[in-house]
């Protein structure tokens, strides 16, 4: 006796497709965040290097906004400590870059605040 199983594959696919798509979008989102953090970290290191060479805060901020290639540079927040009037040779200067990343995974946006704030900082000695 044979049973009619022509719709079985369609039902299984309909049940698993949302889970597979959610997993795929989550992997893509994780890759975007990881790439953006790596780029932000590299930008922080390059930016703090300029601060160590004695550039002004305005020049450092312009360089950081021009260096970022992960989205709109207007969303980049640059914090420099201490400011250029209080920096002297032999002391340390720190640069912190913060950038918001918009998540595209639907359920992940419910758990993690959206946009997700990426932050990287670096410190160097002033020459």
In terms of pTM, does the model score above 0.85? no
Banded model confidence at residue 2, pLDDT cuts 50, 70, 90:
low
What are the residue ranges spanned by the domains of the chain? 7-126
SS3 sequence of the chain:
CCCCCCCHHHHHHHHHHHHHHHHHHHHHHHHHHHHHHHHHHHHHHHHHHHHHCCCCHHHHHHHHHHHCCCCCHHHCEEEEECCCCCCCCCCEEEEEEEEEECCCCCCHHHHCCCCEEEEEEEEEECC
Residue 112 confidence (pLDDT)? 83
């Amino acid at each position: 006796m044979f049973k009619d199983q022509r719709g079985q594959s369609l039902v299984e696919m309909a049940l698993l497709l949302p889970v597979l798509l959610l997993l795929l979008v989550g992997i893509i989102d994780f890759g975007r965040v990881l790439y953006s953090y790596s780029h932000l970290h590299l930008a922080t290191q390059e930016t703090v290097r300029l601060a160590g060479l004695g550039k002004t805060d305005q020049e450092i901020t312009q360089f950081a906004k021009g260096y970022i290639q992960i989205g709109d540079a207007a969303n980049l927040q640059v914090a420099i400590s201490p400011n250029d009037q209080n920096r002297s040779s032999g002391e340390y200067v720190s640069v912190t870059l913060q950038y918001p990343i918009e998540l595209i995974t639907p359920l992940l946006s419910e758990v993690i605040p959206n946009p997700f704030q990426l932050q990287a900082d670096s410190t160097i000695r002033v020459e």
